[in-house]
A and B are shown apart, each in its own frame.
Chain A
Amino acid sequence: MKLAYWMYAGPAHIGTLRIASSFKNVHAIMHAPLGDDYFNVMRSMLERDRNFTPVTASIVDRHVLARGSQEKVVNNIRRKDKEEKPDLVVLTPTCTSSILQEDLQNFVDRAALESEADIILADVNHYRVNELEASDRTLEQIVSFYIRKAILSNSVSKEKTIKPSVNIIGILSLGFHNKHDLVDLKRLFSDLDIEIHQIIPENASVHDLKNLSQAWFNFIPYRETGLLTAQFLKEELDMPFVDITPMGIINIKACVRQIQSILSNLGSNRDYEKYLSDQTKYISQAAWFSRSIDCQNLTGKTAIVFGDATHAACMTQILSEEMGIDVLWSGTYCTNDEEWFRKKVEPFCREVVITDDHNVVGDLIAKTEPNAIFGTQMERHIGKRLNIPCGVISSPVHIQNFPLSYKPFLGYEGTNQIADLIYNSFTLGMEDHLLDLFGGHDTTDVLTNTLTADNDIVWDTSAFAELSKVPGFVRGKVKRNTEKYACQKGYTEINLEIMYEAKEKVNT
């Protein structure tokens, strides 16, 4: 048993449901007790989905415990088949079915005999994999199901599209800014003059999967979901893939160059170098921003990074290589991807942390006291407690991380949005710090009784000169606090000495 208050990655079935419900016309049936369909709430709330989430439960109750599910699961599958006419039904096991050890595959086989829909049993074990691993696995399972079926019936198309084309694999529901990222990826590929052949699983039809092979190559924007599918397609259909996440200027470059080399292997010679340098110079503000004076002030500032492997790794590199920030440590809760993560971030941070225990993360943050945190909602709250600003860069997230406005993390527009995020986190921290330095945040009674007009306090020239050196956005507050102090003490004129005295006293 493990004492746990919070988890970074959800249970396996959530991953399966995210994949199934991302496809068009795929229905998931959970083998679960009443109450485990909380996924529907999250989707309807967080994504503000206008449609009913295509997930139902075949309920496990006392009767099922006593006598097994018997006809129940089969009937539920058949019923959904008739009601919704889905292309595919994914029977989804939960922690409960893991220990009941019913022969779910048998139910699937029997239901398949009488259903129009295809039916598969998601091959995920609650005790072995988490949400992210399960999503990777389920996507591969669905794709391989349809590819193998097509191979058997000889209907896999061998033809490639005339123009270079790509499948984007791994855009899914409840994914961190996935929908925004997709917009920017579309723009990126259109700039590169590459056709987007299919996007899966988001809004894709399973019947189109057999045509995946028509694309020239596959593209996996996030490591967590899609790699298994890409590997399968490589082995089965010899499709090359790109798995460099185009997040941050340097990674975008690496990603595009890899695409270029794949295309040239396939006989289409493209030269994207000019495009890369133009974009970097004129479209992305991030490169110029790093050179600008503002960013100079970030030199030597410290940060820590924690999140899923994709976002934490890219963020670490951006902070270190593109912004010159000192990353004290960088970590991920994707413990299954440790090797890759270490290799990727080691050059850019002082220490690598692999853990899914938020207490460890919290303690480390408290110990290292960075100027800013880039993490999940959990780190944001840790930051709140410790008074350190935090930019959220990865799931798990709350509804505020499903913004209505356009906020991609990938592509050139993504670089701008990330630069804002970083800069705002740091200036926020500095502002706070300055406010503290000059007498705190408390504004409640300051406004009422210390306005200069209300009392006859005058500033002598040197004190006034000193006051004008205080940064503009806190000057008013410092002025008021000093006057308030002077007032209390019965001084009528503020000189340098009183000013420093005030700074000291009001501070405590």
Chain B
Amino acid sequence: MTISNENKLTFECETGNYHTFCPISCVSWLYQKIEDSFFLVIGTKTCGYFLQNAMGVMIFAEPRYAMAELQEGDISAQLNDYEELKRLCLQIKKDRSPSVIFWIGTCTTEIIKMDLEGIAPKLEADIDIPIIVARANGLDYAFTQGEDTVLAAMAQRCPDNKNYPSKNAIEPTTDAIHPPLVLFGSLPDAVVQQLTYELSKQGITVQGWLPSTRYTELPFINEQYYVAGVNPFLSRTATTLMRRRKTKLIGAPFPIGPDGTRAWIEKICSVFNITPTKLDERESEVWSSLENYLELVRGKSVFFMGDNLLEISLARFLIRCGMTVYEIGIPYMDKRYQGAELLLLEKTCREMNVPIPKIIEKPDNYNQLDRIRDLQPDLVITGMAHANPLEARGINTKWSVEFTFAPIHGFSNAKDILELVTRPLRRNLNLNEVSSEMYSSRY
């Protein structure tokens, strides 16, 4: 392969006409993560319909979530917001007795300027349950950014020595050789264990996670604590932790893929002046265990349409696996929060001797489909709206939402990422006999 002239990252911005999930979808994984929570989405039938269908069968498992469906009287302010919310929250308290109620603001509450932040503290005092407001609406955010708005709001509620001096506020003591470290980002418990374990092997103690499995167990966050993100879409949370809680952010690549995990640990170690041990071995061990998958992907090309903000990290990992990335679509690009990840992407491209992909912020799906037709990539990572039509045109697709639900962090889950990425390739190899002639039209 020739060395590309493109050895600098380029950023473009299109029209923002792309498909993604509404950020209120974050309730579906956050209510499961935070076991004593209840999520109340204050919106319309549109929001409810989306959640009902997107959650699939989860909706029948008595989820700790509900809509506060706004009626015409709420819109025209004939009804009193405070009284209405009080009525619903008392009902929730009675039926479910949660430790915290999250109010998810939506497009409608934005447009009619419902003062959720103003009402919450009063009602909280009134009914004696913490109420946290997160405005995760489609006017401002895309998909996983919903979690970001919720965690940013939660970050304000983490106890510290100033605000909780009386409540057994003994700061958790450790014999750590480094200042306290808190990680942020919602991950399945098993993955939390794995990452905590990897750090402990370097002598690093994790003081706590935002979020924890219960609201009542939110970690202490004091000034000058160190914090590090585990997901690329958490820039508001990072900002809040830095500005409001006066913590120090460790800007690192994200622990996705063995390369990312290693870089993440290395960066944390370097901040704490720790020389990492055996990381090299650990990483190459993982790579060699992936060889079967790597054989399948090496030399193949991939196109990210962009909808969940994991795109930069995944692209960086796939390039390290030997793939070529044509385009990285992404809803929103925080160049500061993702700075270290972007540098690693650049470096990876140089080392693997492949052109640096274009990063397209706020992509235009229509234009992208045009480019896909020209490029004929081996794999398109995309939302479900485009997956079946592309498959029908002979283009392999992997739907992107799965990357947000599968465990993809840390050394041990690199296999899961490749399992997802290669699934369409493996499946379609097996189907050659039946599928070659039934496509509607080739692209």
Contacts and interface: CB of A to CB of B under 8 A. Distances in A.
A5 B45 contact: no
Interface string A1-40: 1111111001101100000000000000000111111101
A53 to B, nearest CB: 7
Given A3-B88, A7-B49, A51-B440, A44 B68 contact: no
Most buried by A among B48, B143, B383: B48
A1 B388 contact: no
Nearest to B391: A50
Given A3-B66, A38-B54, A52 B389 contact: yes
A95 B392 CA distance: 33
A342 interface: no
A96 B107 contact: yes
A124 to B, nearest CB: 12
A181 B273 CA distance: 71
Interface of B is mostly: helix
Nearest to B67: A4
Contacts of B19: 37, 40-41
Given A1-B85, A1-B88, A5-B67, A41 B384 contact: yes
A207 interface: no
Nearest to A95: B44
Contacts of B21: 35, 38
Contact of A44 (B18, B107, B139, B385): B385
Interface residues of A, number: 49
B142 A35 contact: yes
A34 B59 contact: no
A127 B78 CA distance: 15
A191 interface: no
B17 interface: yes
Interface in B365-414: 366, 369, 383-389, 392
Most buried by B among A6, A33, A56, A378: A33
B224 interface: no
B385 A33 contact: no
B22 A1 contact: no
A1 B74 contact: yes
B49 A2 contact: no
Interface in B244-272: none
Interface in B2-61: 16-23, 42, 44-46, 48-50, 52-54, 56-57, 59-60
B84 A1 contact: yes
Q: 9 nearest interchain CB pairs?
A: A35-B22, A33-B138, A50-B392, A40-B385, A35-B138, A381-B60, A11-B45, A95-B44, A1-B84
Interface of B: 16-23, 42, 44-46, 48-50, 52-54, 56-57, 59-60, 63, 65-72, 74-75, 79, 84-85, 87-88, 91-92, 107-108, 110-112, 137-140, 142-143, 366, 369, 383-389, 392, 439-440
20 contacts: A1-B79, A7-B49, A10-B49, A33-B107, A33-B138, A36-B138, A37-B385, A41-B19, A44-B387, A44-B388, A45-B384, A50-B440, A52-B386, A52-B389, A95-B46, A95-B108, A96-B111, A100-B111, A126-B45, A127-B75
Interface of A: 1-7, 10-11, 13-14, 32-38, 40-42, 44-45, 48-53, 56-57, 59-62, 65, 83, 94-96, 99-100, 126-127, 130, 378, 381, 384, 398
